[in-house]
């Protein structure tokens, strides 16, 4: 601004023209919580003129990115910091623009609002609007659901669904999560899908022939269907059906049939469509009839196979003595006849018939059949059939040599086909070696079993051997077990064989399911303790704890069998739903020690506790063991239906340690959850007051998870990442009411956020802080898992509690560690107040630096800033300046703050004027402030009513000469050029400056001469001396003004203006004024309008002088040329109608008097004046000659 002083001294004055304009006269911002904003506005200045200035903001949150500007068009960037501000907060302020074109304010108003959700239906303000959008535009609704501002719809009654939203937001399947959300809030029904056909039949299709599966949809929403196929011949075009695939509510799913993957006949397949809510299956049957090939019909083969099976069944029934020989022969004969009718060339059937005929002693017929078979075998040899033929020949009346030869042949054939059980079976009846030795026969049968034979014929032969001689059973391996299983199924076991099997089972090292089946059948046949003991022992070896095994253990306990670990396995297999009486002997067995797993032990101990009235002594022997068990389970954080009553009734304060308390803080809150869906893999808990979700794995359909309080939402997640939140998907059972036990463990638990939150709520809203819960509250305030909103509330409550309780050390610790982003903006002032109260001035000041002083009590700012100024001394600080001025505007200040403002505040002239007034009232030195105000008035051209008083004060303090003279010059300019009010003190001071022999600017001289022309009575000798000098200087520069005529009678050299009539006109800078005038005499115009340029005298003041006599009129109009264009700006009439005698001494006066006489028809006077005029004219010419 010093340059402005220099410019004024050079004659370049601030003309007071307000020429700045702004692109945004008012800045209105609507921001979201925590959003920083950068914007700009444009300052427009006059063209072809220097335009510059400085910019500042009245709020600390709003920062100017440029403090100065220069040029006719300048973009001013700004940045607003909304950190910590919440919905409803508002900041109002102004940008100050102090320029050489004046002083301006650009107001701004920043409001914090929640983000809006705009959609094709308009703004989404609640869940009802969202549902309508989802029904109309599902894709847009899904997108909005995952937008950052969707949380803003959860207000009022809809707030209850926010926890569900948080949980679903983490799901992998976006559309399914939106569907689940809408189902949970009961805004829609599940989408139903229907197949037009559930069974598709396709006959002889062409290769890759297209087919359609039609799916109809009922409802709106999540429409994704996954498509799977069963059957390689089905080819799918797409594996997923989506919303866009539906035409209306119908989709036609194309699929194709691959002919090369079809087999002859019926091909069965299926198409399955599914999503988390529905599963549909369409059965697909493709009938393929290839060209016929010559081959036995399927029906014949099938009938033969069926008859052969029946043939074996009758033989098996005959050998196991289920039917008589006569019945066997009758049924077998019919079957053989039927098989011959189907295929009379079948050699095996011929041989069957021959054996039947031999049995019936129809030897001739049998021989004929054998001859036919021999002839066929000679053409088509088959070892087993030929051996069968040889065997049948021995049944006829043949010599021993022939029989021996046949046996030898079969032995040779078997040697070459040792894995053919049929030949081996025949050899058992032909060879004396096997017929005489049962053990050799047993070994032979075992070898054939090892070779893979599983024919009932082998089992029958082997069983007959064992039944006759049980000692053949030497071990229980696969062959032996298979034979005994066969006998058990056929219910032909004998007591002797059972005894041997039981004996051998005791020697078995490992469990065998077949042996268990055999022993069960044995017990059914012979229900003895020995068999029961064998069964229980075998089950124990197999570690079997199923419900089926329990039935046997229970029998063993009832029989009081002495089997190692029988009681353990009784308890391990006992169904947990068992409500019968546990035998006392079992209870006594576990009275001093138990190796059962924790679940069974819990069941046992709960049973003992429940029946302590019946077994008081037994309960006392259990007591210590139960307590040890409970402690161990607590450490492992376990709870279930059986532990819960033990915890509830048996936990004592003596059991509570830091370790057990930690476990109990979990066990107390465990719920038993039963899930209805079989595909659920995870359980997710979402707590309203916690940031992250808690995830628990699920095995089977049950889970035991801790749930704290009622302020939670539970979701299920399947293997595909789909999430479900409806309560119909699960059943939750609370195991314990935690209130009683929680008070025992509360002092010990220091690292469980869930428990601390529960303690601070007790199932309701956040309780007030007291001596009991202050420790929990302090932990929660520093816990990252807790949502920031809750932590902020707790911190504020803690601070208030410490203050109210006079716990100043804890209050100081809390205030020392707290950061601005850790509290709500609404509590910001209160925190600053506490800091100031506790003498934390520097930290309070840092907070104000970050957040600004909006909303902070003015008296608090005064106290803070006053203390800081006292501590650190008065040095300039931009933030301090803003804060102190905010307090000042609110009417709160003290002497030290006024001293600071007087030294450093730079605002608008009016703002500094207000500070000056207050400082004067306090008696504060205002010299520096006065100087800044005066310089700024010079720089900006601003006006304040107190400027004279301020100038007076400044002068009294010893004004700097250049500033003093510059101010006087500006005042002179305002008075002389701008027609401002007369500043008498300025004239007085101007007089003092002149008296000091200081040179004053030309404009001061103009103002000086004009003022005293208007105030002649104030002129004294000293003033007259200055007036003469100034008027000579003005005239020397060729300047003249209408007020000069006031000096015509008093100053000789000014008498030249006595006969002048002057017209004054003011032009804009750079423009030119032209006067057009016409003289009228006695009412008659004299010629044409004359045109002359009006010369500019000073500061745009143009003056044109004329000599007019009484009765003459000058008609005129003035045009002003601006940018080459001439505009008519003023018009009027000049005349001189004075009738007084003040002008008689001069030539002009006499002539004017003559004109008056003539116009008044006073001819006598006119003649007298004419005579006098000519007389004086003659004397002057004669007496005064040119030198």
pLDDT attached to residue 1142:
46
pLDDT band for position 1186 (cuts 50, 70, 90) = low
Q: Which of 168-172, 327-331, 432-436, 1079-1083 has the highest mean pLDDT?
A: 168-172
- Same domain as 621, residue 542: no
pLDDT attached to residue 915:
96
* Mean pLDDT confidence for 1080-1089: 72
Cα-based angle 983, 986, 987 (whole degrees, multiple of 5)? 90
Residues comprising the chain, all counted: 1187
- The least confident of 432-436, 460-464, 970-974 is 432-436
What are the tens digits of pLDDT across the range 218-245? 999 999 999 999 999 999 999 999 988 9
pLDDT attached to residue 293:
42
Torsion, CA 621, CA 624, CA 628, CA 629, rounded to 10: 30
In three-state form (DSSP H/G/I as H, E/B as E, the rest C), the secondary structure along 451-487 is CCCCCHHHHHHHHHHHHHCHHHCCCCCHHHHHHHHHH
CA distance 547 to 7: 109
In three-state form (DSSP H/G/I as H, E/B as E, the rest C), the secondary structure along 108-162 is EEEEECCCCCEECCEECCCHHHHHHHHHHCHHHHHHHHCCCCHHHHCCHHHHHHH
Within 8 A by CB and 6+ apart from 587, the residues are 604, 607, 608, 615, 618
- Same domain as 522, residue 582: no
Q: Is residue 1020 part of a domain?
A: no
Q: Residue 658: what are its φ and ψ, rounded to 5°?
A: -60, -35
Q: Are the beta carbons of 110 and 103 closer than 8 angstroms? A: no
Q: Are the beta carbons of 104 and 79 closer than 8 angstroms? A: no
Q: What percent of the chain has pLDDT over 70?
A: 95
CA distance 907 to 428: 127
User: Which of 86, 112, 138 is the last residue in one of the domains?
Assistant: 112
CA distance 1025 to 1021: 6
pLDDT attached to residue 1150:
66
Please state the separation of Cα 156 from the chain's center in Å: 20
CA distance 1 to 1015: 35
pLDDT attached to residue 1122:
84
pLDDT attached to residue 1140:
43
User: Which of 80, 112, 144 is the last residue in one of the domains?
Assistant: 112
CA distance 311 to 303: 12
What are the tens digits of pLDDT across the range 408-420? 888 888 888 888 8
Torsion, CA 658, CA 660, CA 664, CA 667, rounded to 10: 140
CA distance 630 to 620: 15
- Same domain as 1150, residue 1093: yes
Q: How many CA atoms lie within 13 A of 90 on its CB side?
A: 6
- Same domain as 607, residue 545: no
Whether the pLDDT of residue 784 is over 50: the answer is yes
Give which of 851, 843, 886 is closest to 868, Cα–Cα.
Answer: 843
pLDDT band for position 385 (cuts 50, 70, 90) = confident
User: Is 0.75 topped by the overall pTM?
Assistant: no
Q: Is residue 34 part of a domain?
A: yes
Exposed/middle/buried for residue 395 (C-beta within 10 Å: 0-12, 13-18, 19+)? middle
pLDDT band for position 267 (cuts 50, 70, 90) = very high
- Same domain as 580, residue 563: no
* Mean pLDDT confidence for 6-21: 78
Return the exposure string of 1092-1115: e unless at least 16 CB atoms fall within 10 Å of the residue's CB, then b.
eebebbbbbbbbbbbebbbbbbbb
Which run of H or of E encompasses 1121? strand 1112-1122
Q: Is residue 340 part of a domain?
A: no
* Mean pLDDT confidence for 798-811: 93
What are the tens digits of pLDDT across the range 70-113? 988 999 999 999 888 888 889 999 999 999 888 999 999 999 88
Q: Is residue 394 part of a domain?
A: no
Give which of 779, 718, 715 is closest to 746, Cα–Cα.
Answer: 779
Q: Are the beta carbons of 50 and 838 closer than 8 angstroms? A: no
pLDDT band for position 1141 (cuts 50, 70, 90) = very low
User: Which of 87, 112, 137 is the last residue in one of the domains?
Assistant: 112
What is the dihedral sign for C-alpha 482, 485, 489, 492?
positive
What are the tens digits of pLDDT across the range 490-546? 899 999 999 999 999 998 899 999 999 999 999 999 999 999 999 999 999 999 999
pLDDT attached to residue 802:
93
Q: Is residue 244 part of a domain?
A: yes
Between residues 32 and 735, which one has the greater pLDDT? 735
- Same domain as 514, residue 454: yes
CA distance 417 to 388: 14
CA distance 619 to 1168: 159
- For 692-705, the DSSP string reads S-EEEE-BTTEEEE
CA distance 94 to 26: 9
Compute how many other C-beta atoms are within 10 angstroms of the C-beta atom of residue 113.
Answer: 14
pLDDT attached to residue 705:
95
- Same domain as 649, residue 515: no
pLDDT attached to residue 358:
84
pLDDT band for position 1144 (cuts 50, 70, 90) = very low
Radius of gyration of the chain (CA): 60
Whole-Å CA distances, 84 to 121, 406, 493, 778, 887: 32, 109, 88, 22, 22
Within 8 A by CB and 6+ apart from 949, the residues are none
Residue 24: which CATH number?
2.60.40.10
In three-state secondary structure terms, 577 is: coil
Please state the separation of Cα 656 from the chain's center in Å: 41
Q: Is residue 414 part of a domain?
A: no
CA distance 984 to 987: 5
Q: Which of 1039-1043, 1046-1050, 1067-1071 has the highest mean pLDDT?
A: 1039-1043
Q: Are the beta carbons of 266 and 183 closer than 8 angstroms? A: no
- Same domain as 585, residue 469: no
What are the tens digits of pLDDT across the range 885-911? 999 999 999 999 999 999 999 999 999
* Mean pLDDT confidence for 1067-1086: 81
pLDDT attached to residue 680:
93
What domain range includes position 252? 192-288
Between residues 483 and 4, which one has the greater pLDDT? 483
- Same domain as 597, residue 488: no
- Same domain as 620, residue 742: yes
pLDDT attached to residue 1086:
65
Q: Is residue 891 part of a domain?
A: no
Q: Is residue 489 part of a domain?
A: yes
What are the tens digits of pLDDT across the range 1092-1105? 999 999 988 999 99
Q: Are the beta carbons of 1138 and 1112 closer than 8 angstroms? A: no
What are the tens digits of pLDDT across the range 280-317? 999 999 998 875 444 445 567 778 788 888 888 888 88
- Same domain as 556, residue 654: no
pLDDT band for position 833 (cuts 50, 70, 90) = very high
Please state the separation of Cα 586 from the chain's center in Å: 58
Q: What percent of the chain has pLDDT over 90?
A: 56
Query: Considering the chain, what is the average pLDDT of its residues?
Result: 88
- Same domain as 541, residue 592: no
pLDDT attached to residue 570:
95
How many structural domains comprise the chain? 5
pLDDT band for position 1185 (cuts 50, 70, 90) = low
715, β-bridge pairs: 684
- The least confident of 721-730, 961-970, 977-986 is 977-986
pLDDT attached to residue 854:
85
Q: Are the beta carbons of 393 and 370 closer than 8 angstroms? A: yes
Whole-Å CA distances, 1153 to 669, 703, 843, 1001, 1062: 122, 128, 89, 42, 20
What are the tens digits of pLDDT across the range 583-626? 999 999 999 888 999 999 999 999 999 999 999 999 999 999 99
pLDDT attached to residue 359:
85
pLDDT attached to residue 1157:
66
CA distance 188 to 1174: 120
């Amino acid at each position: 601004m010093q340059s402005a002083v220099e410019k004024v001294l050079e004659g370049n004055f601030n003309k007071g023209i307000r020429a700045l304009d702004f692109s945004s006269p008012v800045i209105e911002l609507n921001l979201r919580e925590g959003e920083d904003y950068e914007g700009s506005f444009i300052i427009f200045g006059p063209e072809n003129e220097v335009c510059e200035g400085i910019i500042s903001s009245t709020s600390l949150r709003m920062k100017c990115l440029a403090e100065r500007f220069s040029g006719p068009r300048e973009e001013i960037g700004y940045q607003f910091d909304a950190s910590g501000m919440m919905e409803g907060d508002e900041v109002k302020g102004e940008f100050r623009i102090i320029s050489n074109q004046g002083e301006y304010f650009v107001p701004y108003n920043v409001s914090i609002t929640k983000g809006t959700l705009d959609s094709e239906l308009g703004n989404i303000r609640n869940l009802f609007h969202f549902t309508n959008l989802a029904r109309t535009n599902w894709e847009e609704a899904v997108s909005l659901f995952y937008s950052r501002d969707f949380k803003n719809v959860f207000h009022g009654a809809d707030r209850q669904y926010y926890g569900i939203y948080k949980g679903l937001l983490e799901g992998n399947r976006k559309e399914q999560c939106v569907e689940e959300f809408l189902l949970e809030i009961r805004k829609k029904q599940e989408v139903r899908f229907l197949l037009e056909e559930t069974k598709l039949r396709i006959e002889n299709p062409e290769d890759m022939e297209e087919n359609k599966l039609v799916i109809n949809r009922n409802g709106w929403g999540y429409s994704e269907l996954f498509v799977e196929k069963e059957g390689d011949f089905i080819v799918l075009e797409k594996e997923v059906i989506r919303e866009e695939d539906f035409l209306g509510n119908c989709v036609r799913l194309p699929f194709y049939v691959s002919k090369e993957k079809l087999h002859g006949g019926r091909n069965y397949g299926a198409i399955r469509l599914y999503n988390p809510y529905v599963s549909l299956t369409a059965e697909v049957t493709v009938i393929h009839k290839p060209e016929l090939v010559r081959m036995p019909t399927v029906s014949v083969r099938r009938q033969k196979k069926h008859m052969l099976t029946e043939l074996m069944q009758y033989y098996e029934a005959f050998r196991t003595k289920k039917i008589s020989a006569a019945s066997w022969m009758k049924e077998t004969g019919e079957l053989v006849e039927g098989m011959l009718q189907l295929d009379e060339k079948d050699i095996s059937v011929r041989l069957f018939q021959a054996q039947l005929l031999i049995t019936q002693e129809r030897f001739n017929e049998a021989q004929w059949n054998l001859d036919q078979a021999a002839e066929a075998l000679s053409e088509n040899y088959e070892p087993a059939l030929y051996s069968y033929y040889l065997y049948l020949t021995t049944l006829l009346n043949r010599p021993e040599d022939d029989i021996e030869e046949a046996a030898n042949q079969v032995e040779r054939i078997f040697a070459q086909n040792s894995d053919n059980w049929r030949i081996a079976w025949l050899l058992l009846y032909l060879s004396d070696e096997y017929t005489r030795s049962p053990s050799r026969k047993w070994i032979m049968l075992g070898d054939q079993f090892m070779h893979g034979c599983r024919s009932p014929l082998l089992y029958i032969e082997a069983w007959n051997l064992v039944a006759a001689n049980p000692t053949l059973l030497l071990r229980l391996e696969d062959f032996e077990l298979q034979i005994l299983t066969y006998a058990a199924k056929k219910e032909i076991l004998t007591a002797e064989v059972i005894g041997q099997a039981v004996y051998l089972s005791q020697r078995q090292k490992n469990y065998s399911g077949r042996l268990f089946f055999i022993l069960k059948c044995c017990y059914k046949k012979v229900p003895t303790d020995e068999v029961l003991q064998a069964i229980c022992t075998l089950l124990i070896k197999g570690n079997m704890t199923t419900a089926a095994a329990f039935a046997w253990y229970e029998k063993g306990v009832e029989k009081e069998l002495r089997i190692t670990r029988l009681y353990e396995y009784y308890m391990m297999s006992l169904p947990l739903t068992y409500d019968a009486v546990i035998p006392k002997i079992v209870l006594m067995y576990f009275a001093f020690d138990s190796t059962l797993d924790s679940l069974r032990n819990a069941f046992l101990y709960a049973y003992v506790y429940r029946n302590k009235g019946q077994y008081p002594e037994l309960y006392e022997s259990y007591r210590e063991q139960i307590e040890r068990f409970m402690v161990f389970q607590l450490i492992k954080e376990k709870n279930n239906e059986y532990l819960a009553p033990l915890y509830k009734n048996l936990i004592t304060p003596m059991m509570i340690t830091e370790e057990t308390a930690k476990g109990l803080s979990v066990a107390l809150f465990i719920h038993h959850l039963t899930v209805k869906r079989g595909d659920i893999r995870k359980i997710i808990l979402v707590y309203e007051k916690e940031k992250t979700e808690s995830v628990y794995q699920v095995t089977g359909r049950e889970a035991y998870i801790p749930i704290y309080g009622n302020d939670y939402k539970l979701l299920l997640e399947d293997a595909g990442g789909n999430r479900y939140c409806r309560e119909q998907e699960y059943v939750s059972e609370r195991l314990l009411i935690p209130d009683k036990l929680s008070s025992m463990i509360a002092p010990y638990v220091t690292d469980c956020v869930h428990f601390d939150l529960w303690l601070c709520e007790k199932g309701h809203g956040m309780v007030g802080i007291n001596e009991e819960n202050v420790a929990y509250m302090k932990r929660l305030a520093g816990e990252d898992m807790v949502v920031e909103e809750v932590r902020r509330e707790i911190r504020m409550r803690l601070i208030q509690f410490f203050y109210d309780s006079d716990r100043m050390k804890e209050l100081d610790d809390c205030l020392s560690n707290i950061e601005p982003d850790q509290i709500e903006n609404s509590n910001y002032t209160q925190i600053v107040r506490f800091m100031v109260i506790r003498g934390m001035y520097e930290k309070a000041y840092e907070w104000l630096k970050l957040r600004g002083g909006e909303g902070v009590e003015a008296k608090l700012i005064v106290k803070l800033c006053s203390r800081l100024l006292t501590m650190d001394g008065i040095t300039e600080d931009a933030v301090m300046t803003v804060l102190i001025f905010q307090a000042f505007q609110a009417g709160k200040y003290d002497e030290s703050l006024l001293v600071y403002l007087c030294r450093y505040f730079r605002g608008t002239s009016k703002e500094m004027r207000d500070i000056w007034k207050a400082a004067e009232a306090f008696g504060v030195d205002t010299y520096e402030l006065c100087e800044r105000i005066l310089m700024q008035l010079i720089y900006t051209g601003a006006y304040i009513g107190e400027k004279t008083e301020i100038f007076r004060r400044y002068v009294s303090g010893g004004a700097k000469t250049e500033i003093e003279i510059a101010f006087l010059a500006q005042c002179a300019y305002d008075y002389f050029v701008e027609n401002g009010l007369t500043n008498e003190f300025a004239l007085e001071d101007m007089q003092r400056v002149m008296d000091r022999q200081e040179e004053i600017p030309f404009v001061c001289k103009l103002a000086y001469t004009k003022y005293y022309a208007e105030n002649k009575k104030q002129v004294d000798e000293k003033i007259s001396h200055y007036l003469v000098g100034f008027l000579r200087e003005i005239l020397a520069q060729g300047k003249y003004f209408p007020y000069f005529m006031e000096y015509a009678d008093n100053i000789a050299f000014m008498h030249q203006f006595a006969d002048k009539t002057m017209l004054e006109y003011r032009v804009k800078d750079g423009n030119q004024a032209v006067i057009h005038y016409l003289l009228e005499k006695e009412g008659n115009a004299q010629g044409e309008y004359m045109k002359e340029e009006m010369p500019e005298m000073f500061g745009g003041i143009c003056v044109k002088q004329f000599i007019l006599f009484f009765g003459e009129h000058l008609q005129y109009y003035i045009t002003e040329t601006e940018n080459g264009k001439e505009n008519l700006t003023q018009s009027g009439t000049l005349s001189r109608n004075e009738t007084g005698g003040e002008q008689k001494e001069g030539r002009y006066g006499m002539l004017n008097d003559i004109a008056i006489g003539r116009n008044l028809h006073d001819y006598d006077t006119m003649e007298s004046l004419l005579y006098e005029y000519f007389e004086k004219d003659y004397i002057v010419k004669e007496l005064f000659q040119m030198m």
